[in-house]
Every structure is written in C-alpha cells, then in structure tokens.
Structure 1
C-alpha cells in the first residue's frame, strides 16, 4: 500500500533529511509543507503554507487528501517558554485538524522532541538520559505537543512516535539549530583570517562528554517509526550511537579544513561572528560560493549554547535498539562527510 506522507518544516535540517529519505522509498509520495519552497527537494512536492494560519493549512491539505503519515518537523522560536509552547502546539493542532478531516486512513504521526525534555538547556542533568525519566517543570512544548497527540488519538486507529535527537547535524540553510553549519562557517572564516581553529566555548564544555545526531540517522528513524508496530505511541532517543569530547574531536575537525588548532578560548560567537558578513561576501565572490545571505547561513546563538554546555550530555538509545532500530554512524565520519558535501555544494570554500 502506498504511503502518502506530509513532512512539515521540509526546509529545516530535520524535515529536509526526512523528506529526502522518504521520497527515496518506492512506496511513498511525499509532500513538503513549509513557508518557502526553494530550493527544490528532488521527489518532493513542495507546498507553501503558513502553519499558524488554519485557513491556509486546510486549503493545502485539502489538495492532498488521504494522507497516511505525517512527519511533523516544523518549529517556531519564541522568547518565553509559555509563548513557545502555545504557538508550537497551535501549529500542530492546525495541521492535525486539517489532516483528520480529509484523511480517514491516517496511520501514523512522527514528531520530534530533544534534550530539553531532560533539561539539557537548564544545566547538568541525569545521564544517561532515559525516555522514562520524569518530566520537568512546565511549560515545555515537547510535553504539550505530546499531550495533545495522546489526547487526540484516543480511540482512533492512528498512532504517534516521538523521536528525541541531540544537536542535529545535517544540511539546511537558515535553520536555527544546525551544529554542522555553525562549525563549518566558523572554521572557514577562521581559515580565511589565517588564525588557528580554536574551540570557542568553555574549558568545561571542551572536556565534557557529548553526543550528536546525524540528520540522516534521524530521517531513517522517522521512516522506521512509521512502519513499525513496536514504535506505536512510544518515545525514543535517537543519536549517532557514540560519544565524544570536543578536546579530541576539535583537532580532527581542524585537520578536515587543513588548519592548525590552538587551545580553547571562550569567544562568544554572537559577539565575534555577527560582523563577519562583509568578509563572507568577499569569500563568496572569491571561491564562487552560493550567494546565501550571511545572516541565514548559521545560528551563532545556537553555537554558543552548545559550546558552553559544560556538563556531560548522554542519552541511552537502548530502548530504540530493543524495538528494532539499529542505525548508527561514527561522528567523526559524519562530520567529514557533511563538510565535504558543503564543499561540493559550494556552501563553503574548498577543503584540502
């Protein structure tokens, strides 16, 4: 039976990878819902829609009908936790209202949570984090979206799966939480300035245990969750499967760019990188890069958050493995492949 799949946030780092993965399956027809429809994603029918507008969402979904799967990768940043929760639950509700109205055979909804479910944004937390760890003080939009879906699907045939990655790394421009783009652009600018690649965060973060999630691994998990009975109404941590310390990874990243490295110095990226737009424009012209607006190419605030987390960040992936999901990737290999792809797509200058 063919799957008809809606992927929201299809130009973000998570949604884009999911759309590409699903569009490559012979039994799937994929519709990518996002505010913007460019650049095109091969095999994905792009639909421009503002998820905050129920009328637009209804019109968009009415043109699809008979949706079997939803992959909800949309996210809207807001200043306060309460505002963030209210708006991100609203956009999920708007989509589900429209889908349930036109798609009686809906089978599965995948959505995403993350380290904030364990308090990774607040300070040191229990590690390894497990899916059955108790909740934190609300508001938290992860919990609120989950509660909305649990209530909504009561007595219905469709199920949901929540996936919890950490620091997703992939290819997307203008995405607020894409660590690989932060590192790549920071390294390219450092190299252009003729300075060594310094870890810009704290000594504690440099030495703490950390983990990341490849967008491709996460996309594979979304595909798996939509097909697998063991994933029905469950939450799974999804990471690369290994752990590392920046003190060991950073020299390897420097070598990938053909650079020297030096001891870490806390250097707030939101202070020191926001004036580099003119330099980046010159680099675009010099190396024939894609003319992407500098302000949209990386989120320095996200980089500061990651590089100043001076405590272990470890999640257990045993539950996913016991349920049958075994995909993993060596993080060093992931970084190397992503940087080469950014080079090949002319997002960053040539590598050695």
Structure 2
C-alpha cells in the first residue's frame, strides 16, 4: 500500500483539526499548516506560516516533496463579501504554487466550500440546493477558488474535489465558525445567570428548516472524495442527512443544560455578550474550567449570522450518496454529544 501524506491547510480550525484526527486513524502521515502552528505528535507535524506572505509560504513549503494530498480548509475573514476574495484566493494560490512543483507524487487537492456557493448568505435561495444549480452574482471567493483549481487541473496529473457542508459542528476553540461552541457557552451563561434559554435569532429562523454537518462526518467525506475515482474533479454537498427546526431542537438543548425554555427574543449576541468576559472568568474559576480566554470560546457574530436565516437552508446530498458516500449522523445526538465532550474536557461547566 502506498503511503499517503496529507497537507492539511487550516489545521487549527474545527474542520482541519477533526480531519487530522481522522487521517491519523487511517495511518496517513500528516502535515498541519496554520499561522500559529501546533504541537507535533506521532505521524503529525506542524508548520506555522502566514499564507498571505507569498515568500514565507514558498520558503516554508518548498521541502514538502512527500505530499500526496492537499486538504485546503483555511479561511481569512474580512468585513465585506467583496474583500474576502483577494486574501482567500491568494492563500490557496500560494499553497498550490509552493507545493505542486516539488510534490511530484501529488494526487489530489481538496477544497472546503459551503452554501455561499448557492447564495445562502445573501437571502432565500433555491432549496434543496444542488451542485448543478446556476451561479449567482459575484463576488464569492468559494467560486473563485474552485475556478482556480479547475484551470490549474488542466494538464496536471492530480485531481480536485470540493466539499460543501452546511454549518459545521465539532470541538474546537478559537474558531470563527463553530456554532456548537456558541450555543454551549450561551446556554452555560444563561444557567449561570439563572435565566431561561431563549432563542436569540429572528422569529422566522426559529421555524425554518435547517441542517448541520458533523465535523467527524465531514472528515470522512473529505477523505472519501479525495481517494475515490468516481468523485474526482467534482463538488459534493455533505450534511448529516436529517433536517430540523430550531423550534424543536431548542427545548432539547435546553434540557441538556437543565434550563427552561422561554419564548424567542431577537437580539444580537455580539452586543449582549460583549460585556460577559468577567462572567466567563468567574465561571472558569468557580467550576474549575480550562483557563480559556473569553475571545477564544465563542464567535458571537457567527451565531448571529446563522440565527438570522429566516428561510430554509438545506441542500440535496443525492449526488454524494449515488457516488458511494452513505455516512449519516443524527443531529440531535451530535449536539448533545459535543456538549457532553465539552463538559468532559472542562471547557464548559
């Protein structure tokens, strides 16, 4: 069996971190790439580099001759959609420019996308979204990145794939897009303050259909697409496989935290949680939690973004299932399992 070597770009995120763990179980050699780096262990080593610095990227990656698969899950946030294109396209370009010429056995480049390809961030879109749906008005960096890979693929020996998950949930601190942490910390603070758990989003979001993507399931799908002949040079929607409404999920989340549910009350978490650092620090001391800086435990703006979707946010996964990926995760069990693991790791009380 040929030894695979994965370069996981965005190794410190919830997607990249769970992907590395899955690759370890498969016996792959793994190189994690991020700005902050990480602690080497077993078959995993880390490289710290700012991917927006082209020269630094070329120097840091020029020795990665053994890489067979690039898994790209890095992301740079910016204030507007238009501003997202240049940095996110530049980072992917810099990685490929650095690795492709030296990794003579490169087999595959995997790109992590999302429902922004379908315009989910702009407003109500055609659902369930399909990979064959027509494009929307740019700017959209996910599209630019895929088009870059399609152009670069011409004449190359490697293939590409693009994974399109819904909202990804898993264990991971300091990540700007981790809804599970948003909910867990919000619920824990509600309990600490002795108040019921209220859904903070728009009224329509409470009753609209939505779906999630478990980070472990996504890791399996990512490797499947990167190693399956029938999945080459294609994009795939990847979800847990079930749908839900917050109106039914919210009471189950509240029950986990031993909280009552009160009627929804629309609020901006980024505003109402801005003054809660002292409360968080007191909770860390009182409950013996891991001393995590308040800025790293949750991204309230991302919570506001997801809870503002007062329209259905769902995609069709028929394509991936017909191609052979059949994993399924029950979303309620996923949420409760993540919350329990957060407790066991002493990240929440």
Give me the whole-angstrom Cα distance separating, in 2, the residues matched to 1:68 and 1:126.
37
Secondary structure at the aligned position of 1:101 is classed as coil
Q: Which residue of 1 aligns with 2:292?
A: 292
Determine the structure 1 residue equivalent to 2:335. Answer: 335
Could you tell me how far 1:127 is from its partner in structure 2? 0.6
Partner Cα separation in structure 2 for residue 40 and residue 156 of structure 1: 32
Q: For residues 270 and 40 of structure 1, what CA distance do their matches in structure 2 show?
A: 35
Deviation string 1:54-86 (CA, Å, 9 cap, x unpaired) is 222222223332210000010001123232111
The CA distance in 1 between the partners of 2:38 and 2:291, in whole Å, is 14
| Offset, 1:108 | 0.4
Answering whether residue 23 of structure 2 is matched by residue 22 of structure 1, we say yes
Q: How does 1:311-326 map onto structure 2 within 5 Å?
A: 311-326=311-326
Partner deviation per Cα, 1:260-284 (whole Å, 9 max, x = no partner): 1111111210111111000000000
Q: TM-score, normalised by structure 1?
A: 0.97
Partner in structure 1 of residue 231 of structure 2: 231
Is the Cα contact below 8 Å between 2:38 and 2:47 reproduced in 1?
no
In 2, Cα distance between equivalents of 1:127 and 1:94: 35
Q: What secondary structure sits across from 1:197 in the alignment?
A: coil
CA distance in 2, matches of 1:7, 1:334: 24
- Which digits, 9 at most, give the CA deviation of each residue in 1:292-335, with x for residues without a partner? 11012111111111111101111000000001011110000000
> Any idea what SS the aligned residue of 1:52 has?
coil
How many Å separate the matches in 1 of 2:202 and 2:211? 17
What is the distance in 2 between the residues matched to 1:45 and 1:293? Answer: 25
Query: How far, CA to CA, are the matches of 1:338 and 1:108 in structure 2?
Result: 31
Residues 212 and 331, structure 1, Cα contact 8 Å, conserved in 2: yes
* Correspondence list, 1:123-272, <5 A: 123-272=123-272
For structure 2, which runs of at least 5 residues remain unmatched after alignment? none
Higher deviation after alignment, 324-333 or 259-268: 259-268
Cα-to-partner distance string for 1:157-203 (whole Å, 9 max, x where unaligned): 10010000111101111111111000000000000000011111122
Inter-partner Cα distance in structure 1 for 2:270 and 2:123: 20
Residue in 1 aligned with 2:276? 276
Q: Report the Cα distance in structure 2 between the residues aligned to 1:119 and 1:86, rounded to whole angstroms.
A: 19
Uncovered stretches (5+) of structure 1, i.e. residues with no partner: none
Q: Is the 8 A contact 2:7 2:33 kept in 1?
A: yes
* CA-CA distance at 1:344 after TM superposition: 0.8
| Superposed CA offset, 1:205-246 (max 9, x none) | 000001011111110111111110111110000011000000
Paired residue for 1:7?
8
Secondary structure of the structure 2 residue equivalent to 1:46: strand
The structure-2 alpha-carbon separation of the partners of 1:339 and 1:40, relative to structure 1 and needing over 3 Å to count, comes to farther
How many pairs were matched up?
Answer: 348
